[in-house]
Amino acid sequence: MRIAVFASHNGSNFQAITEACKSGEIKGEVALLISNNKKSQAIARAKNLHIQFLHISENVEPNEQLRDTKISSLLNEHNCELVVLAGYMKKLSSSIIDSFGGKIINIHPSLLPKYGGKGMYGSKVHKEVLKNKEYVSGVTVHLVNSDYDKGKILSQQTIPITENETPESLAEKARRVEHHLIIKTIKEIIEKKNRLARYEKKTK
């Protein structure tokens, strides 16, 4: 399976996915990294990992329609069958969601539907969780639709909150859990696709 990853900043999930593909744990290949941030660590990681990348943002292409066309054409050119939003802090436009419907997944650092929606991302999530004195937090991988963080949940894992937890320590724990969960979820998607292909072959 050919995978495109979108990331805005650090890119540790992008790296975890890429390494799992390179080691053969995921039977797939990261074909492309797309980032809206030229200075992101994600782009630096793509260079080190020899993954093709594209920096595209309002600054590079102010016209939204042209921007979407460029992203869609690139995903098509690279035959990407799965798009993973891994710390991508921009909402995907409905035209991209429509054309890749059902093939876009997002990693979110909370137990959705809690602490999701517009404005809930990155450290903001962890701050809010701690402000509300929650005992557990977690991470979610879900399908992307046009409603922020509302697509079908594919997998979740809880994270216990310890005494003296800070937004930073919680973010670090979340990242570690996410690396494991996103790899597991991608493997499940690939297995499901292969099962379906086998079934279709048999019933032909």
Residues designated catalytic = 108
Q: Which is nearer to ligand GAR, 43 or 80 (CB)?
A: 43
| Least Å from the CB of residue 107 to ligand GAR | 4
Which residue number, 75 or 86, has a Cβ lying nearer to ligand GAR?
86
Per CB under 6 A, residues contacting ligand GAR are 7, 9-13, 86-87, 107-109, 121-122, 174-175, 178
Q: Give the nearer residue to ligand GAR in terms of CB position, either 67 or 173.
A: 173
9 in Cβ contact with 89 (< 8 Å): yes
Query: 19, 45 in Cβ contact below 8 A?
Result: no
**Cβ 7 to ligand GAR shortest distance, Å:** 5
Residue nearer to ligand GAR on the CB measure, 9 or 78:
9
Residue 123 half-sphere exposure, CB side, CA atoms within 13 Å? Answer: 7
CA 31 to chain centroid: 14
- Which residue's CB comes closest to ligand GAR? 87
Beta bridge pairs of residue 159: 137
* Lookup: tokens for 67: 């921007």
- For helices 12-23 and 41-49, the axis angle rounded to 10 degrees is 20
Least distance from ligand GAR to the Cβ atom of residue 80, Å: 19
User: Distance between CA atoms of 33 and 45, rounded to whole angstroms?
Assistant: 10
The nearest distance, CB 171 to ligand GAR, in angstroms, is: 6
Instruction: Answer yes or no: are the C-beta atoms of 86 and 17 closer than 8 Å.
Output: yes
Contact criterion met (CB below 8 Å) for 130 and 123: no
